[in-house]
Amino acid sequence: GDSVTQMEGPVTLSEEAFLTINCTYTATGYPSLFWYVQYPGEGLQLLLKATKADDKGSNKGFEATYRKETTSFHLEKGSVQVSDSAVYFCALSVSGGADGLTFGKGTHLIIQP
């Protein structure tokens, strides 16, 4: 079946550090890939997505590139801020339309000032 594996946290970094959160996947079809973020006390929010190989999703300084050859979608940010502290979830969807997502376990990111 489909699955997503992401590095488990917590990941603790200092402000302005470089961030990488690894995500790899297995899928029965051709998936779309997503990163969701959950800030404290809030719901899951779509951070970025990519729908085909070599696409780069970006938002709020975060980037992730769809790498089909390595089945990866690693999340990166050049300089993190305290406000980036949250739980980040990598996810995929192989069905068309509005079908369900397959999530990773989530990575808790803590940014210290």
Partner 1 sequence: EAGVTQFPSHSVIEKGQTVTLRCDPISGHDNLYWYRRVMGKEIKFLLHFVKESKQDESGMPNNRFLAERTGGTYSTLKVQPAELEDSGVYFCASSPQGAKRGGYTFGSGTRLTVV
- Closer CB to partner 1, residue 42 or residue 69? 42
- Closer CB to partner 1, residue 14 or residue 68? 68
Report in angstroms how near the CB of residue 101 gets to partner 1 at its nearest: 7
> For the chain, where are the E strands, in sequence order?
3-6, 11-14, 19-21, 23-26, 32-38, 44-50, 56-59, 62-65, 75-77, 86-93, 102-103, 107-112
Binding site for partner 1 (CB under 8 A): 4, 32, 34, 36, 41-46, 49, 51, 89, 91, 93, 95-106
Report in angstroms how near the CB of residue 68 gets to partner 1 at its nearest: 16
Give dist(CA 63, CA 74) in Å, integer.
Answer: 8
- Closer CB to partner 1, residue 47 or residue 80? 47
Report in angstroms how near the CB of residue 12 gets to partner 1 at its nearest: 18
Report in angstroms how near the CB of residue 17 gets to partner 1 at its nearest: 25
- Closer CB to partner 1, residue 63 or residue 103? 103
The letter for the amino acid at 35 is W
- Residue 11 Cα to chain centre, angstroms: 14
Residues counted in the chain: 113
